Amino acid sequence: MGDIELLKDLFVTQSEEINVLFFLIQMILTSILCLGVGAIYVRYGHSASNRKTLSRSFVLIGLTTMIIITIVKSSLALSLGLVGALSIVRFRTAIKEPEELAYFFVVIAVGLGIGAGQVIVTVLGVLGVAAIIWMSHRTRSEELAQNLVITLPASSGGEVKSLTDLLQGHAEQLSLRRIDDRPELTEVIYAINFASPDQLFALRAKLAQDFPSATMSFLELS
């Protein structure tokens, strides 16, 4: 009977009251930390995607995680229910760059830590991650610091090869980072360095001449 009673106690949902003031403080602290992680991502990230747009989701992810952990941490039954609920969740948009996934894990860790009441450890952890990222940025060798995104109508690999050869003649450094083939278009992303704005302007003119249906987006990363 003792074991049965113990199991009943484990699975009974507790109606423990949550301190509203402490909960609000947790929300504010989680938001501040996630905003800080977003600022670090925008400043020091290397993702080819729009980092400012992606960073706006960090606070929402961190707060959602914190709220869930705050609610379920006092009940084993709710915790098991959460596992079942999350098993049906699927990402509809693939995360294409490992760096994006790493920052998502950081903001999830913030929500987990603050929600579990481990405030000091969480703050120290975020500060440690920020320090490592900053030191890595300061000590790394000179890298390609510009992104060039070329969008072509649905094309063959030969057109991408011709495009790459064209860019090599107008840039100091060039590295092909990603090719996205879709039914209606092909998007090619390069890391590139121009010695001067004149090289960029000359490339625009040549691109309009050789690939009139192409569009170009240029982004300075640092």
Q: pLDDT digit string (tens) for 146-171?
A: 777 888 776 555 678 888 888 888 88
pLDDT of residue 149: 80
pTM tops 0.75: no
pLDDT surpassing 80 at residue 65: yes
pLDDT confidence of 206, banded at 50, 70, 90?
confident
- Span 127-150, mean pLDDT? 75
pLDDT at 217: 80
Mean pLDDT confidence for 24-33: 94
Nearest to 107 by CA among 190, 41, 162: 41
Q: Which segments of the chain does DSSP mark as H helices, in order? A: 2-11, 20-44, 51-72, 76-86, 98-115, 119-139, 157-168, 197-210
Look at residue 85 and tell me whether its pLDDT is greater than 60. Answer: no
At residue 194, the pLDDT reads 77
Q: What is the pLDDT of residue 145?
A: 58
For residue 151, the model assigns a pLDDT of 83
Domain ranges of the chain: 2-139, 146-220
Q: What is the dihedral of CA 211, 200, 186, 48, to 10 degrees?
A: 180
3-state SS of 49-85 is CCHHHHHHHHHHHHHHHHHHHHHHCCCHHHHHHHHHH
For residue 78, which phi and psi values (nearest 5 degrees)?
-65, -35
What does the DSSP assignment read for 122-144? HHHHHHHHHHHHHHHHHHSPP--
Tokens standing for 194? 């121009």
Better pLDDT: 78 or 180: 180
Q: Phi and psi for 45 in degrees, rounded to 5?
A: -70, 160
- Give the residues across from 179 on adjacent strands: 188
Q: What is the pLDDT of residue 153?
A: 77
Query: In this predicted model, what pLDDT tens digit does every residue of 141-152 receive, in sequence order?
Result: 455 557 778 887
Query: What is the structure's pLDDT at 133?
Result: 87
- Between 221 and 113, residue with greater pLDDT: 113
Residue 87, amino acid: S
For the residues 56-84, what does the mean pLDDT come to? 76
Domain topology for 146-220: Alpha-Beta Plaits (3.30.70)
Q: Per-residue pLDDT for 30 more than 90? A: yes
Mean pLDDT to the nearest integer, 75-85: 56
Q: And the tokens for 78? A: 């709710």
**Dihedral Cα 19, 20, 23, 24, nearest 10 deg:** -150
| Interaxial angle between packed helices 76-86 and 2-11, expressed in degrees from 0 to 180 and rounded to the nearest 10 | 60
DSSP conformational letter for 192: E
* pLDDT at 112 exceeding the cut of 70: yes
Token pair 């003119």: residue = 205
pLDDT at 80: 56
Count of other CB atoms within 10 angstroms of residue 69: 19
Least Cα distance to 71 among 16, 7, 8, 12 occurs for 16
pLDDT, position 154: 67
Q: How does the average pLDDT of the chain come out, rounded? A: 77
